[in-house]
Amino acid sequence: MAWHQAMQDCAPLVTRFAPSPNGRLHLGHALSAIVAHDLARASGGRFLLRIEDIDGPRSRSELADEFRRDLEWLWLEWDEVSAQSTRLASYAAAAEALRARGLIYPCACTRKEIEAAGAKMGSDGLIYPGTCKRTPPDPARPAAWRLDADEALATTGPLLWDDDLAGPTAAHLSDLGDVVLVRKDLPASYHLAVTLDDAADGVTLVTRGSDLFAASHVHRTLQALLGLPVPRWHHHALLIDVSGQKLAKRRGSPALAERRLAGEDGRMLADQLRLQHLQLGT
């Protein structure tokens, strides 16, 4: 389904923008926020802001305030704001349910050990080679908990998910493998937290950049395992810089806050991004 068709969807949509306060927002974030905002508003629905602040040591609370000012500057109004750090108990409960059903297993491997085990590269980093699934780790070592992809598939059977741009897509885990659902240092990983939050917030259209497309295979699987409602997805094309690379803060894309504080017109910038996005065709 094309962008303009999605906008004509008659049911009011609930969308969200879910930034992590471990770095400043840049243009790519602004586009994601605009896409989520505009799709919700065009349908008469709701646009939510969720601060993904569970990454304790890397999360900086002052950035959450900065994000709000950035969105206001872009003339994007949200209906509700929530923070992941208030939801840790729900992540722990879901992890416990998966553990009780044998769908996750402990893994004490370090990144070095995973590399040394000859792990293959998937679309989002190394595919875990299953070391701790074959031989459970020493309980004295700190462990993360990984989804047992084979067990998950056997439980759910074939699943489909629907992306506005890619259309109906068969869920598969072969590209991501046994992803971490509970981190060594946190009660959830991105995958578990975002899936539970989108369900808890009643999000009906998950919008985000196409760099996160592969993650939706995992999220669709978790929805089936945990009996959660299934939204639709909209993975939008990414903005690229003059050298043809994805815009990212590490490549020096200017932070929105810097542009805001320099007196640039945020509303005009948002409109330019809308135009650029239309030209990308998504």
Residues forming beta bridges with residue 162, ordered by sequence position: 168
CA distances, 213 to each of 123, 131, 140, 163 (Å): 10, 27, 36, 9
Helices (H), the chain: 3-7, 27-42, 61-73, 88-100, 111-116, 131-134, 149-156, 190-200, 215-226, 256-261, 266-280
Among 3, 6, 13, 20, binds ligand GLU (CB under 6 A): 20
Choose between 130 and 223: whose C-beta lies nearer to ligand GLU.
Answer: 223
Joined together, the tokens standing for residue 125 give 């980093």
Nearer to ligand GLU, 114 or 212 (CB): 212
Nearer Cβ to ligand GLU (33/104)? 33
Strands of the sheet containing 46-51, edge to edge, are: 14-17, 46-51, 80-83
Residue 87: CB atoms within 10 A of its CB come to 18
The one-character DSSP state at 46 is: E
**Out of 15, 34, 45, 52, the residue judged to bind ligand GLU by CB under 6 A:** 52
* CB distance 238 to 211 below 8 Å: yes
Instruction: Say which residues have a Cβ less than 8 Å from residue 204's Cβ, sequence separation at least 6.
Output: 11, 13, 14, 15, 45, 231, 232
247 binds ligand GLU (CB under 6 A): no
Give least dist CB 32 to ligand GLU, A.
Answer: 7
Give the x/- contact pattern for ligand GLU in 142-181, rule: CB under 6 A. Answer: ----------------------------------------
Please identify, among the stretches 12-20, 90-98, 230-238, 249-257, the one whose residues bind ligand GLU according to the rule CB under 6 A.
12-20
Per-residue binding string, ligand GLU, 192-231, x by CB under 6 A, is --x-------------x---x-------------------
Indicate the angle between helix axes 215-226 and 190-200, nearest 10 degrees: 60
User: What minimum distance in Å lies between the beta carbon of 107 and ligand GLU?
Assistant: 23
* Window of 13-21, 90-98, 141-149, 161-169 that interacts with ligand GLU by CB under 6 A: 13-21
215 or 269: CB nearest ligand GLU: 215
* Closer of 105 and 220 to ligand GLU (Cβ): 220
Listed ranges 17-25, 64-72, 118-126, 255-263: which one lies at the site for ligand GLU (CB under 6 A): 17-25
User: Applying CB under 6 A, which residues contact ligand GLU?
Assistant: 18-20, 52, 194, 208, 212
